[in-house]
């Protein structure tokens, strides 16, 4: 097909050339645009595939469907660059990043909203829905992408992964450390495993396994109170909860 837009974005150190039909996609990728001469990945959805997907999802605007298909194809390629996608909400607090992961509708966005509400400028939201994990030699890093959920919370940056937290709704607030193997089914279900490329799928699992050895894992049961933030903050950062208040954002 003839693409109306062609541009390049950079995230997690990967330069991706995007060819697309709709201008909204370039707008959504605005914080990630780059003029770098190097291209690692090139993606574009063919007319027949895009039209079929649009017809199958009439409740979504066509640009959103194309945006989603581009995400799928990019995430099929990133494992070759030491990166894999995780479904979760990622924040930074201090020098480290923390990922809250759970099935959709569990309350990840609500929980990180509370961190911003009560901790203000001490917290940045890296990505509210679809960050990626970059595996280094001695550390794992959480990096943002333009795909960030309906709230659109994201900031184009990477930070050292300080912990992965499996979030569950609860009437009481509690957190405990867990071994990744004990919650493997819950974790794997939140990892993007490429379909149709056995090598990329294996690489994703290998990268996930390496992440498990580079960061601690927690299980958090919480409500939507400030006490939930206090409970998580103290356990994840190892610091005393700061005694100040910021206005909600």
| CATH code, domain with 133 | 3.90.228.20
Question: Structure pTM?
Answer: 0.93
The dihedral over CA atoms of 242, 247, 30, 141, expressed in degrees to the nearest 10, equals 20
User: Rounded to 5 degrees, what angle do the CA atoms 85, 143, 135 make?
Assistant: 70
Domain edge (last residue) among 50, 81, 112: 81
Range of the domain at 205: 83-237
pLDDT in tens, 190-244: 999 999 999 999 999 999 999 999 999 999 999 999 999 999 999 999 999 987 6
Question: What is the residue-averaged pLDDT of the chain?
Answer: 94
Residue 149 and residue 136 share a domain = yes
Does any domain span residue 249? no
Residue 29 domain-assigned? yes
Same domain, 150 and 64: no
For the chain, report the end-to-end CA distance as a whole number of angstroms: 42
Question: Do 25 and 62 touch, CB atoms closer than 8 A?
Answer: no
Those residues with Cβ within 8 angstroms of residue 38's Cβ, 6 or more apart along the chain or in another chain: 15
Q: Which two tokens stand for residue 28?
A: 């959504």
**Better-scored residue on pLDDT, 208 or 36:** 208
pLDDT digits (tens, 9 = 90+) for 137-172: 999 999 999 999 889 999 999 999 999 999 999 989
Which one of 61, 81, 101 terminates a domain? 81
Are the beta carbons of 81 and 117 closer than 8 angstroms? no
Measured distance CA(119)–CA(248) in Å, rounded:
9
- Together in a domain, 116 and 225: yes
Residue 242 lies in a domain: no
H-only helix segments in 120-212: 184-188, 198-212
Q: Are residues 203 and 186 in the same domain?
A: yes
Q: Which of 31, 38, 13 is nearest to 154 (CA)?
A: 31
CA distance 86 to 92: 16
């Amino acid at each position: 097909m003839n693409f109306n837009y062609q541009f390049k974005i950079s995230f997690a150190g990967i330069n991706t050339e995007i060819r697309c039909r709709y201008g909204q996609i370039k707008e959504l990728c605005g914080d990630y645009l780059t003029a770098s001469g190097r291209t690692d990945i090139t993606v574009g959805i063919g007319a027949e595939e895009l039209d079929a997907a649009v017809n199958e999802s009439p409740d979504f605007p066509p640009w959103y469907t194309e945006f989603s298909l581009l995400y799928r194809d990019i995430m099929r390629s990133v494992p070759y660059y030491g990166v894999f996608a995780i479904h979760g909400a990622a924040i930074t607090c201090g020098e480290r990043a923390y990922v809250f992961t759970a099935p959709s509708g569990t309350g990840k966005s609500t929980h990180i909203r509370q961190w911003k509400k009560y901790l203000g400028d001490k917290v940045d939201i890296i990505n509210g829905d679809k960050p990626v994990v970059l595996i280094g030699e001695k550390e794992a890093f959480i990096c943002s992408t333009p795909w960030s959920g309906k709230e659109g919370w994201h900031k184009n940056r990477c930070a050292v992964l300080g912990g992965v937290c499996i979030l569950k709704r609860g009437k009481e607030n509690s957190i405990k450390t867990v071994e990744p193997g004990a919650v493997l089914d819950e974790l794997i279900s939140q990892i993007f495993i490429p379909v149709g490329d056995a090598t990329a799928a294996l690489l994703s699992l290998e990268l996930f396994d390496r992440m498990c050895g580079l960061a601690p894992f927690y299980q958090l049961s919480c409500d939507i109170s400030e006490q939930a933030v206090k409970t998580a903050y103290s356990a994840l950062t190892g610091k005393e909860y700061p005694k100040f208040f910021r206005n909600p954002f």
